[in-house]
Amino acid sequence: MGEYHELIRNFDKIRDYMRDFYIYGFKSRSDFTRKSARTYDNEKRRIESYMGEYMKWEYTKTGKNLFISMDCARLPLNPLYAAWKSKTFTGNDIMLHFYLLDILGKDSRLSIENLTDLICSRSGQVFDPQTVRNKCKEYADLGIIKAEKQKKALLYSLSDNTFNQLLQSAPGLGEAVKFFQGSVAFGEIGSFIMDNQRLENDRFTFKHYYAAHTLEDGILLDLLSAIRNSCAIEFVNVNESGTRVSTFNGIPVKVFVSAATGRRYLCLYKTKEKRFFNYRLDHIKEVSLKDFCETAGQHQTDLENNLDRVFGVSFGGQNRKEIVCMKLYVNEKTDGFILDRLIREGQGGEVLRLEKNTYLYTKEVFDSNDMSPWIKTFTGRIIQLEGTNQTVINRFYKDIKRMKEMYED
Amino acid sequence: MKINNHLFSEVYGCYFTVVKRILEQAEGGLTQAEIESMVQADGFYDSAFHLLPKLFSGEWNLMEHRTDGKYYSRLLSNNLTRPMTDLERAWLKALLTDKRIQLFIDPEEAAALKEVLNEIPPLFLPSDFHFYDSAADGDSYEEKRYIDNFRLILKACESQTPLSILYESGKQNRTRRFVIPYKLNYSSRDDKFRLLGVTCQKGGHFKKITLNLTRILTVEPSADTYSENTEINSTKTFPVACAGALTETSANIKSPFPFYQFFRETKCKEPIVLEISKERNGLERCMLQFASWEKQTEYDEAHDCYVCRIYYDGQDETELLVRVLSFGPVVKVLGPTSFLTQIKERVRNQYRLNTWEEP
């Protein structure tokens, strides 16, 4: 049985547990069946340590429930970024890190032999030149160190790519990092910069912020790399209950994001089916890049040409052209905000004034199912709902009837 | 140039950050207690237990324990800020393609940054993403007036300078307000910035305020306005700490202004209680949709459903109401009474509108 360590080697190990504790928050020890109870205990202990005050617990009939709870609108920084800062390392890693920064920091350009000698004398510990060379190569790959050839020797120095250098060109960059760490993809990278520069976000808060996105950013990075290089991919997809594991392949085209519900999807062109599909990012486990795809650009264009008919993430079934018409009662004196909402959220659907206080919203989409949740947000005002997909229309009326029964006094 | 895709690296790790801060301050020696408190402040909750023995025992050879009982850095430099990685630079380069960057950086500055980051490809592009349900009426980030106002406000947030703001309401009414700016709030769904601040009303009442940036017409430091408005000097209705923070003779705010008086937790007394059925993947949809609010969920074995409590700010009530309605019969509101009454009214109205329409 392994000893418990606070830090981890593999990010995937913590990704699922953290998501479960955060998104669901009602699972007790017995509900975590993926791995052994001991694994659960270790992951729980780690997450408690990373999350600190945001980790809460309560006793329920099924046992003690641990969960991550936070009001995102009050957070200066996403606490789940901590997961990205938990990578384990060896004693040599941390020693070499600081001695390299120390020794190479004074405009030094040193050969591996000189560098090794200095590290050994200053730290009082013997390092093999090959160990130091490997670390230098690793840091050169990361961009921290540069290696320049002088005659036959490679000379190492610190990269001059510092944040302060960029600040000289653009003094507002520090504030920009504070903002963008909470408002664009890969916010954790902004947080890395802030840690290194000792910046704190004391200016911005974020509403409709979905903290769990950060847990998918490793997958997102692979997907964007494939999109950028026009590569086909193969990936492992696990369904929500974790009971079905499938492998899919195709050409990644775009990432769909819901700003309202906090979901992110990979939009994939599947060559065999000759059509687009969306897959939830949090269900994707592994991505491998395959061959260069010559037609990637064409799929991008095809998708762009069809985006206005995708209301959510569905490209529909057999019937690829559906129309939804919603007639609404809008009191023009008091409910102007409803019209604003129709325009703001209606994704370009046509809004017509039929008569005083009566408006008609019409939209053509691939799949009217996608519109159902949004349509229901107008509950209480829908005079009539019509459309070419009668199943969706019928379900709406049935739902209203069920809700009436549900809330009957 | 290929970017190293190592997002998960110890270089960005919490331990490296904590040790860097300790070493940078240990030139003149630090006591064990001082180091412990730094680890407590910047490390994970249990980090002291794992990190300190290695640091104190000399296993990492980064510090030495001298006879005065203090720990000293073995390094010569007291600035251990590492250069940026290519991944960080690629992320910054991506920011330059975002329309909101103009709020922080002038076009000439952006051009200079692009030059410095010339060899680095942006980590992502706006065209990589399709935000399918964000608002169509997002703020106009390219508008000069908007940019100027944003920068003035951002600066005032830092200095806590009171501002005189000419504001146009949704109904086109214009009012001048005295505002002590606190923070800027951004909503990705609405694609809007809002200023959070404290305003003074007639009679010296101070209260928190939220203003849409796009509706702010002009912004000025408030010295003139303040001296003209004698009511603001009235302290009789100030919270005690707030009154102490305002000087009697000028518009200057003594630092720090006690914003906590106004922006502490303002959760409603009773959470919204939802009963979530297992139908149509309701639980998962619900958990994701309400993930950004503080919530608590448990399984109700007797009724084979889930009960979720959402703790919310009163300002969010209408939004939550609409979101709950979007789930239809999959989610049933159990309380609180006022929220339940609103849901019932909407459902009743809808049923009345459609009784003749039943399939």
- Asked if residue B341 lies in contact with residue B299, where contact means CB atoms within 8 angstroms, the answer is no
Contact call for B124 and A224, based on CB within 8 A: yes
- Give the pLDDT confidence score for residue B231 in this predicted structure: 41
Mean pLDDT for each 10-residue chunk of chain A (409 residues)?
A: 81 86 72 70 89 84 79 90 96 97 90 96 94 97 94 92 95 98 97 97 94 94 95 92 89 95 93 94 94 95 94 84 95 93 95 97 95 96 96 95 90
Q: Given phi > 0 = left and psi -120 to 50 = alpha, else beta, which region is A352?
A: beta
Residue A284 and residue A235 in contact, taking contact as beta carbons nearer than 8 Å? yes
The whole-number average pLDDT for the span B282-309 is 88
- Return the residue of B nearest to A220 by Cα: B124
Q: Annotate B144-200 with DSSP letters as a single string.
A: HHHHHHHHHHHHHHHHT--EEEEEE-TT--EEEEEEEEEEEEEETTTTEEEEEEEEE
ipTM summary value: 0.94
**pLDDT tens digits for range B312-353:** 988 899 999 999 999 999 999 998 999 999 999 999 999 999
- Chain A window 216-235: which residues touch B at a Cβ cutoff of 8 Å? 217-218, 221-222, 224-225, 227-228
How much is the pLDDT for A334?
Answer: 92
Tell me the mean pLDDT in the region B224-238: 39
pLDDT digits (tens, 9 = 90+) for B202-214: 777 888 899 999 9
pLDDT of res. A65: 79
**Of A229, A234, A276, A286, nearest to A255 (Cα)?**
A276
Structure-token match 């508008």, residue found: B143
Q: Check whether B225 has a pLDDT greater than 80.
A: no
Interface of A with B in 147-186 (CB under 8 A): 158-163, 165-166, 169-173, 175-177, 179-180, 182-186
Q: Say what the pLDDT of residue A275 is.
A: 93
d(CA A242, CA A268): 22
In this prediction, residue B266 carries a pLDDT of 64
Q: What is the pLDDT of residue A33?
A: 64
Give the pLDDT confidence score for residue B359 in this predicted structure: 45
Q: Which residue of A has its CA nearest to B51?
A: A6
Overall average pLDDT of the B301-318 stretch: 90
Taking contacts as CB-CB distances below 8 angstroms, the residues of chain B near A172 are 104-105, 109
pLDDT value at position A32? 64
Question: How far, rounded to the nearest angstrom, does the alpha carbon of residue A264 sit from its chain's CA centroid?
Answer: 7
Candidates B12, B188, B281; nearest CB to A84? B12
Number of neighbouring beta carbons within 10 Å of residue B257: 20
Question: Residue B11: its pLDDT value, please?
Answer: 97
Q: Which residues of A151-180 are buried (b: 16+ CB within 10 A; e: fewer)?
A: eeeebbbbbebbbeebeebbebbbbbbbbb
Contacts of B306 in chain A (CB under 8 A): 26
What single DSSP character describes residue A21? I
Question: Given a cut of 70, is residue B242 above it in pLDDT?
Answer: no
pLDDT computed for residue B240 by the predictor: 43
- How far does chain A reach from its first CA to its final CA, in angstroms? 58
- Residue B49 pLDDT > 50: yes
Question: Which candidate in A62, A261, A288 is best for mutational testing of the B interface (most B CBs within 10 A)?
Answer: A261
Mean pLDDT of B33-62: 94
Name the average pLDDT for chain B. 87
Residue whose C-alpha is closest to residue B22's, from B33, B8, B10: B33
Kindly give the residue spans of alpha helices, DSSP state H, lying in chain B.
Answer: 14-25, 32-42, 47-57, 86-95, 107-116, 144-159, 223-228, 240-245, 260-263, 282-289, 317-325, 337-354
Cross-chain residue pair B350–A380, CB shorter than 8 Å: yes
pTM score: 0.92
Query: Nearest CA to B342 among B350, B278, A185, B276?
Result: B350
pLDDT, average across residues B288-314:
89
Q: Look at residue B229 and tell me whether its pLDDT is greater than 80.
A: no
CB pairs under 8 A between A and B: 425
Residue B245 confidence (pLDDT) above 80 = no
Give me A369's structure tokens.
């199912």
What are the pLDDT digits (tens) for B150-203? 999 999 999 888 999 999 998 889 999 999 999 999 999 999 999 999 988 777
